[in-house]
Structure 1
């Protein structure tokens, strides 16, 4: 069976794996890998079928493939522009530089790979020739791996974020994101407003979930985030008896774990709805799963200019959290590079 002929089978296989994984637990990152693979093989199948039955469709496919480099250039320019916008709007920080750095990498990494391929010694096949080709191949493979990983993460972030989970929450946890001069800024306000929407819907249905605004006091903050968030919730209609702030956490993992402690201390041990911004939904969900919490995550809207850099920050965090899995996934590429180097030594 040809690779193209196998595409429908691979599409079906990955679709089944996705549906099974999604039913088992929608918070698993592997669901995004399966879904993205199913979509890619499905697109290949559709393209093959249309090429076979529609005259001239193959030419259209070829044109689309030729436009891929142009799309990459457009992506790089857009990321660089977004990086400068982030610096102007949010100030200089490592996190705010991510979209700019990614945009530069879109141009630099292919240029480095091409330079390695073409920079021959001109004196026959030398050790340098073998090394540069091996390094270029390694660069292509590793960049391709992380590009596909980012695509899978992006696809499933959108899918998970738009899923209606049907959870009846015993508690609504709102993740903190920093105060400005001790007050709730727009980014955090969007989370609190989304939590209030969920809370009011539950109250209208005759239930009283516990609202847990979660966040400790940062070095540059005059008071804990949870305290300011609780004030906002009460000021905007939440019953004070339904608000129990968590004020000791320093990161998302602690937000979730310590909020669960607040929930159980209040005599609640049921399901949780976690509220954050849309770019942060999938990572928060995977952390909740790793902490074995009965929680699903919903997202609030974020200013469009802020999303690319924030989303890249989330992807980097996920890569770091699963670093050994990523090292294992890249090991075959390194071994193949070693094989190419060995072959170059044999030819000397």
Structure 2
């Protein structure tokens, strides 16, 4: 028998758990695709499937010493490749978009991915209890952040498969973003063009769905984003009677809440079709569910170089939705680090 009895049981057990998790994911996704836990189900399913694969590899090709770690070699190589990509992307963002904290985010994360292991090795080589405890605690925090990011990424990929369907919508709401000298920039134009495509599709199905460009006036903007977006839409042939401008929102939450209020005043209620940039669509979907709204969020294409930094900002924002959960998860690591420091 090529595979040992214990190995066979481990492989089959892990695969059964992975399949069960995929089943739970599928049922949950069909009921409500705007749940971050969907990503958790997918990551756990992948984890158990990988465990089964590693056990099968060990049984079929027994190895000792360093060679036993060969199946794990792609992990550090992937981290290094990701670090290089993020650094290159960060430099591109600075060159094309200028220096700002948001534009520097991918560069900072890329450098941190390279620096973190080096710093950890230096701390461990001190053989000093507190320094070792800091290294161990940082390791567990990085693992937690990595797992959280994987779950968010898996949820994002799952949500991209959501489609609006052929039923009427109360409105097609377009989320605003910053203007450039009072005009609609390329990023916002992409959202508006995607909204127009969806609006025309609903019109072809016989529905009289209004378009709601939503966005207030920022401190560095000469006019409200909603007004500029409304002009953009009418300039492209959308009848002014079909454009309902919302010009007071300052956040995604306000975009949705104020748009719903405007529509309610006009007797339009029901499911919303919300359009934003592709990187923002998953978080906007989470927000719409937190607000108790029936909505499907569509993502518009975005320049590729812009996505990594923007997506990292979205991930950081999502982390703030469950602060107590993350503190609870990190507490055992902190306690272990304290005990380790005292043991030396």
Q: What is the TM-score of this pair, normalised by structure 2?
A: 0.90
SS at match of 1:172: strand
Cα root mean square deviation, aligned: 2.3
Indicate if the aligned counterparts of 1:278 and 1:298 stay in contact, CA closer than 8 A: yes
Indicate if the aligned counterparts of 2:86 and 2:110 stay in contact, CA closer than 8 A: yes
Residue 182 of structure 2 is matched in structure 1 by 182
Residue 125 of structure 1 is matched in structure 2 by none
Q: What is the TM-score of this pair, normalised by structure 1?
A: 0.89
Residue 49 of structure 2 is matched in structure 1 by 42
Classify 1:341/1:50 alpha carbon distance in 2 versus 1 (closer, same or farther; 3 Å).
closer
Q: 1:117 aligns with which of 95, 117, 124?
A: 124
Indicate if the aligned counterparts of 2:54 and 2:71 stay in contact, CA closer than 8 A: no
Q: Distance in 1 between matches of 2:77 and 2:23?
A: 34
Q: Distance in 2 between matches of 1:88 and 1:196?
A: 31
Q: Distance in 1 between matches of 2:276 and 2:51?
A: 36
Q: Distance in 2 between matches of 1:72 and 1:79?
A: 10
Q: CA deviation at 1:56?
A: 8.9
Alignment gaps of 5+ in structure 1? 121-128
SS at match of 1:68: helix
Any idea what the Cα deviations from partners look like across 1:293-320, whole Å, max 9, x if unmatched? 1111110011000000000010111112
Q: State whether structure 2 residue 85 is matched by structure 1 residue 78.
A: yes
Residue 130 of structure 2 is matched in structure 1 by 131
Q: Distance in 2 between matches of 1:308 and 1:42?
A: 28
Q: 1:11 aligns with which of 10, 18, 33?
A: 18
Q: State whether structure 2 residue 160 is matched by structure 1 residue 161.
A: yes
Q: Distance in 2 between matches of 1:234 and 1:60?
A: 65
Residue 278 of structure 2 is matched in structure 1 by 278
Q: Distance in 1 between matches of 2:68 and 2:161?
A: 31
Indicate if the aligned counterparts of 2:11 and 2:53 stay in contact, CA closer than 8 A: no
Any idea what the Cα deviations from partners look like across 1:35-94, whole Å, max 9, x if unmatched? 1211232233345446656x6999999545224222222211211111111011111111
Alignment gaps of 5+ in structure 2? 1-5
Residue 320 of structure 2 is matched in structure 1 by 320
Aligned residues: 335
Any idea what the Cα deviations from partners look like across 1:322-344, whole Å, max 9, x if unmatched? 22221122112112222323433
